[in-house]
Structure 1
Amino acid sequence: MRSAIVLAAGKGTRMKSDKCKVMHEVLHKPMIGHIVESLRKANVDRIVVVVGHGAESVKEYLKDSVEYALQEPQLGTGHAAMQAEMLKEEKGDTIILCGDGPCIQSETILKVFEANKDHACSVVTAVLEDGARYGRIVRNEKNLVEKIVEAKDCSSEELEIKEINTGIFCFKNELLFEGLKEIKNNNAQNEYYLTDLVEIFNKKGLSVNAMVVDDVDETMGVNDRVDLAKAQKWLKQHVNKKHMMNGVTLIDPDNTYIDTEVSIGVDSVIYPNVHLEGNTVIGNNVTIFPNSYLRNAVIEDGAVIDSSKVVESKVGANSTVGPMSHLRNNTVVASNCRIGNFVEFKNTNFGEGSKCAHLTYVGDSDVGKGVNFGCGVVTVNYDGKNKFRTTIKDGAFIGSNCNLIAPVTIGENALLAAGSTITSSVEDGDMGIARSRQSIKKGYGTVYKNK
């Protein structure tokens, strides 16, 4: 049995925010979300989040994906762990993490559980050139942890120790809850500290292990906006490296922004200043040019997105979008389509091989295969109160500067003459034309200019 306790009750005053600290976002996801995601990937069975300040916002976000314990008032890390009493009967190991450490990865969590296999407790540590304000790890002759000494209490010799406490612990669960009963608050802050368990365990002859992390920044805590930016940078680089190692070309990784849940296929090329957010799925051999923004989008193999925005929508294989196009609200573009510059699709199905090259709005529409849109077409879908759909069947040709007043249906291989405002349906193979007849006034141009 693997359990986890996430300490998320702190206010985070240094963030200078009305928002609960653990709800501040890194790569468009609250910090607490990243931690829970990593725990799930590490196959942790039960996750208890200890809440306090901003408890409602944390619960609203995580909902019933975890269990909750309330710490009120906040009296230290040991006191926080005491609140997770719903775990006290469990067997196995329990990892304890801080809710402001969003960079921790599932691979590291698995290593922590493995490191604690033959020990009562394992402390996750890091080696720094300058331990600064962090608690120092004092090892005994068996190379196990004897105690953790806070920086302010260190002797000159202890201050020279480079191994520090990251604040992540793993315990045999039964021993954890037995030990928590013995923690005292006889200190200046009158708080209960989790680190006191190290000495309690040693006095009982229980072994306390230390596992040194490979990358100290993975365990960083976020205390202010500067730390938040550092965490964002680290996680961005970690995600980008993973994609590059999996066969994706990032032209400029430092200026490419990819959320943790985005999937990208092999041989895809991502240019600088591209933002891929949410559950976006990119296929193989896709090219995304600079200044594109995709959120919860699906881009199939061989497609090209050029300086465009695709939100909650899908682009089929070998289709091109952009530059400066906007697809939104569950738009589905089929394969081998061309969506050109300054085109907006909203809640529209666009059939295979259809083309819409420039300066067009298509909203709430169902477009068939092989349809061609001229420049400046608008499907007029809103009458001020209700929205209506437009249907355009296979092979239709929509001339430039046409307005289609929905609800209206354009039949197969129908033609709409340029400049028409279409208010009635056009049958298969027919032509619709709705514009004033042109008249010529001889010589009037010269008369006007000479006024």
Structure 2
Amino acid sequence: MDVTAIIMAAGQGTRMKSNHAKVSHKILGKPMIRWVVDAAIASGAGRVVVVVGSHSDEVRAILADAYSGEHAAAIECVEQTERLGTGHAVRVALEAAGIDAGPVVVLNGDLPLIQASTIRSFAETVADGSHAAAVLTFTPPEPFGYGRIQLAADGSVERIVEQKDCTPEQAAQLLECNAGCYAFDGALLAAHIGEVTCDNAQSEYYLPDMVEILKSHGHAVTISHCNDYRDGLGVNSRMQLAEVTDIARGRINDRLMTEGVTFIDPAQAWIGPDAQIGRDTVVWPQTHLIGRCHVGEDCQLGPNTRLTDTVAGDRCVIDETVAVEAVLADDVECGPRAYLRPGTHMLDGSKAGTHVEIKKSTIGKGSKVPHLSYIGDTQMGAGVNVGAGSITCNYDGKNKHATTIGDRTFIGSDTMMVAPVNIGADAITGASSCITHDVPAGALAIERSDQRIVKHYTELRRARL
């Protein structure tokens, strides 16, 4: 089934009261438009055509940044320079992308909860040629505001009754609501889209008019009902954005719990849709996983932890930690209050402790940076211990420089390592030393002033006051 998905993302989204495109707003760290594109790709759509308009550069940038390789070829953007309604947007997409055959599903870019299985079954309703079009329907708990579907005796669509035209009797009886998405036989859509007119109060071309147009040509139109009404919930305001985020969070956490992950309080954990967590891992409250995170088995995440595009192995303890584009091997311990910046690679059994910041550095097997230290642009060997308050001085105001610390080296507390500098294996630096030259393997490096004692100083000072 060679399906084309057209995703409507040209609207301004005025009710969001935002300086950004509506579809750029994030749900669990992922832009709304990407939720719909990903669902379309997962459903098997061979082409995904995104209609952009308002803030088009922003939407294009989101898609270009997110999709590469095999998916990049399947996704294309089409500009709707004049926003003249949904019917006009589809016509622009058909002409620009040369779509004239196969099932075509038209989806809204503000429908982030729609699932791949829903899109797949939606497309199948028009795939065998028995129907020219299908309307995606759902039955929300509160149907007010949605167009209602009136069915004929044979189950086909008789008409769509908009909310403003609903009588009290229709509002009470017609509970099948229009989700605003349509599936079409591509050839029939291309043949008749030009018949949609703008003869209405808003002078816009409305895609729902295709239902009546296709019926007038003797073609059948049916419905495709969402098994989960939440698939049809759109986002038009900040309140709806929060509501949809809550539903998405619940769906993801429920799935992870069925896969063997423990949540201390599922309502206080925000796991993104592209994150993976292994079985027997425990997720504590106020834990956030954003982007493509992968956490192994038997880990402890949180409380108060935020991981972004970070990989962690098995049996890691990540407590009150912020990690961005970091890689943690097995049995790594972080926090509380650790900050792992991009390029951090912590090998098996290593530790980044309390108030420790690490950037673009490798921490060797079993090495420990227990507290109050900054390690940047450093290659650290195995079995190293870094004393409290130690810093790699990697920036000279213009360039970054590297530090190398050999295996089993002991860095005394409050050591300043002024890069570029190499400290050999099994070396020791004395506490409060400023290391500006290379230290040979097995050597002791001490740099400090001689201690001076002034006896009876307090008594003498008081006498002068």
Deviates more, 1:173-182 or 1:312-321: 173-182
Which residue of 2 is the match for residue 116 of structure 1? 126
Instruction: Indicate yes or no: 2:346 matched with 1:324.
Output: no
CA shift digits 1:296-347 (9 cap, x unpaired) = 1111111110111111111120011111111112011111112211111111
TM-score (norm 2): 0.92
Tell me the SS of whatever aligns to 2:201: coil
Aligned 1:22-421 pairs, distance under 5 A: 22-63=23-64, 65=72, 66-84=75-93, 85-87=95-97, 89-118=99-128, 119-128=131-140, 130-160=142-172, 161-421=174-434
Following the alignment from structure 2 to structure 1, what is the Cα–Cα distance between the partners of residues 152 and 48? Answer: 33
Following the alignment from structure 1 to structure 2, what is the Cα–Cα distance between the partners of residues 412 and 187? Answer: 80
Following the alignment from structure 2 to structure 1, what is the Cα–Cα distance between the partners of residues 263 and 463? Answer: 61
CA shift digits 1:63-93 (9 cap, x unpaired) = 3842233323222221211111245554320
Cα 1:234–1:163 change in 2 (3 A) is same
CA shift digits 1:79-124 (9 cap, x unpaired) = 2111112455543201001122122121211121233334221111
Instruction: Indicate yes or no: 2:5 matched with 1:4.
Output: yes
Match of 1:430 among 426, 429, 443: 443
1:269 CA drift (Å): 0.8
1:197 CA drift (Å): 1.8
Aligned partners of 1:382 and 1:388 also within 8 Å: yes
CA shift digits 1:5-33 (9 cap, x unpaired) = 11122111111222122222222222112
Aligned partners of 2:100 and 2:189 also within 8 Å: no
CA shift digits 1:395-422 (9 cap, x unpaired) = 1111111111111111111111112111
Tell me the SS of whatever aligns to 1:69: strand
Following the alignment from structure 2 to structure 1, what is the Cα–Cα distance between the partners of residues 462 and 312? Answer: 54
Tell me the SS of whatever aligns to 2:355: strand
**Structure 2 gaps, min length 5:** none
1:157 CA drift (Å): 3.7
Aligned partners of 2:331 and 2:349 also within 8 Å: yes
Following the alignment from structure 1 to structure 2, what is the Cα–Cα distance between the partners of residues 71 and 406? Answer: 54
1:440 CA drift (Å): 3.2
Following the alignment from structure 2 to structure 1, what is the Cα–Cα distance between the partners of residues 92 and 36? Answer: 19
Aligned partners of 2:408 and 2:426 also within 8 Å: yes
Deviates more, 1:189-198 or 1:261-270: 189-198
1:147 CA drift (Å): 1.4
CA RMSD of aligned residues (A): 1.8
Following the alignment from structure 1 to structure 2, what is the Cα–Cα distance between the partners of residues 371 and 51? Answer: 53
Tell me the SS of whatever aligns to 1:95: strand
Tell me the SS of whatever aligns to 1:356: strand
Following the alignment from structure 2 to structure 1, what is the Cα–Cα distance between the partners of residues 338 and 462? Answer: 40
Following the alignment from structure 2 to structure 1, what is the Cα–Cα distance between the partners of residues 393 and 142? Answer: 65
1:203 CA drift (Å): 2.9
Following the alignment from structure 2 to structure 1, what is the Cα–Cα distance between the partners of residues 421 and 269? Answer: 43
Deviates more, 1:150-159 or 1:30-39: 150-159
**Structure 1 gaps, min length 5:** none
CA shift digits 1:360-411 (9 cap, x unpaired) = 1111111100111111111111222222111110011111111111111111
1:194 CA drift (Å): 1.6
Deviates more, 1:156-165 or 1:372-381: 156-165
- Counterpart amino acid of residue 108 in structure 2: C
Following the alignment from structure 1 to structure 2, what is the Cα–Cα distance between the partners of residues 50 and 404? Answer: 54
Cα 1:156–1:338 change in 2 (3 A) is closer
Deviates more, 1:53-62 or 1:93-102: 53-62
Tell me the SS of whatever aligns to 2:279: coil
1:446 CA drift (Å): 4.4
Cα 1:410–1:108 change in 2 (3 A) is same
Deviates more, 1:48-57 or 1:67-76: 67-76
Tell me the SS of whatever aligns to 2:372: strand
Following the alignment from structure 2 to structure 1, what is the Cα–Cα distance between the partners of residues 403 and 259? Answer: 42
1:199 CA drift (Å): 2.1
